[in-house]
Amino acid sequence: MVAHGLCDPDKESMKLQQNQIWLKGSEYYRIVQLDRAEVQYKIMTDALSGRGPHHQVTKKEFCRLLKGAVLLEAEACSSQQQQQQQQ
């Protein structure tokens, strides 16, 4: 049985949290709202812009979407943003 908020995209349990950003291929998935049974998320081509269509799926469907995705650390996103501001 999978505990609340856990996802196993590549055999490593990861707790889903609101505002997490996942990278899969060239697309970024940001969790906008996380409920017990569903996930609302955005798909973005640029993680820093925050622009992208909203989607709503079950938690199980979202975990399937994340297969092969990489969780981006908050520090990595903020340092990327700082580099873009300096240019």
pLDDT tens, 8-56?
555 556 689 999 999 999 999 999 999 999 999 999 999 888 899 999 9
pTM over 0.75: no
More confident residue, 84 or 26: 26
- pLDDT for the residue numbered 63: 92
Annotated domain spans of the chain:
6-86
SS3 category, 18: coil
Cα–Cα distance between 59 and 87 in angstroms, integer?
38
Q: Where are the beta strands (DSSP E) in 1-87?
A: 6-7, 14-15, 21-24, 27-34, 38-44, 54-58, 70-72
